[in-house]
A = this chain, B = another copy of it.
Amino acid sequence: MKHISSRSNPEYKLLLRLSEGHHRGSQAVLEGVHLCQEWAARYGAPRFALFDAALLAREQGGELEALVRSGGSACASCEPALMRALSPVGQDQGVCFLVDVPQPQRPGRVDQNCLWLDRVQDPGNVGTLLRTAAAAGVGHAYLSPGCAAAWSAKVLRSAQGAHFAMAIYEHVDLAAEHARLAVPLLATSLQDGVSLYAQALPERCAWLFGNEGRGVDPALLQRADLKIFIPQAERVESLNVAAAAAVCLFEQRRQGLLHSASKA
């Protein structure tokens, strides 16, 4: 196997740029055994794989290498110091995959329980939102232009594998998508909303959350079938968008579980 020992190697430089957040949109870098295994299970071989020699000597590494080779993709090993430089916390993750970002086809009709994000710009928030949605059983996420790139390194790190539990659609014109919506649109709003806890929430809906500072675009908010607020203590700032989404999505989940139990 080819061994990379210089930072000026072109494949390495591309991985480093992507891991530092210079996202190209069409390619992404996945760090660590867990994410690479998830990718392999769902999408097969990556475009290119970089291994730490110590990982290759272990069974996990050997299996990943075999998979990469069976897909006809290139792989290389590298110095531990180079692998550590790819990690924001300076840890040797063992393996990195360079992959083409999946471009799932949007359903013609939006009738699933889904997450709609309007210009959520912080990568940590987008990642946490995807992770929370996946944990709540939400399988589809629609991201408007202006959201942090879903397959950027920071979002991947915060999402902890949620990318493999859901379909993520990016650069979606949410106002246009609204015409294809076959479930209610629910949005959190600090003004003229009804309490989250006063509602029988629909089993399936589109949950709309907005930009950290400016909230949901007013034109989009107007189209919401239900505006809700989370009853919070007085005289404190509103919740962080990812915390608000956790409260809403799990209140829907709680009601759904209760409903299933009462029917059983």
Contacts and interface: CB of A to CB of B under 8 A. Distances in A.
Given A128-B242, A246-B247, A237 B197 contact: no
A232 B197 contact: no
B237 A162 contact: yes
A165 interface: yes
Contacts of A231: 253, 257
A246 B162 CA distance: 19
A161 B235 CA distance: 10
Contacts of A239: 131-132, 135, 246
Given A161-B237, A235-B165, A132 B243 contact: yes
Judged by DSSP, the binding face of A is helix
Interface in A212-258: 230-233, 235-240, 242-244, 246-247, 250-251, 253-254, 257-258
Contacts of A230: 135, 250
Interface of A: 124, 128, 131-132, 134-137, 158, 160-162, 165, 197, 230-233, 235-240, 242-244, 246-247, 250-251, 253-254, 257-258
A203 to B, nearest CB: 15
B132 A257 contact: no
Given A197-B258, A246-B246, A258-B197, A132 B233 contact: no
State the 9 A-B residue pairs at the shortest beta-carbon distance, nearest first: A137-B233, A243-B246, A135-B232, A246-B246, A160-B237, A247-B250, A134-B236, A132-B243, A165-B236
Contacts of A250: 230, 247, 251
A135 to B, nearest CB: 4
A20 to B, nearest CB: 17
B197 A243 contact: no
B236 A162 contact: yes
B197 A257 contact: yes
B257 A135 contact: no
Given A197-B257, A231-B257, A242-B243, 9 more contacts: A131-B243, A132-B243, A135-B230, A135-B236, A160-B240, A165-B235, A242-B242, A243-B243, A244-B246
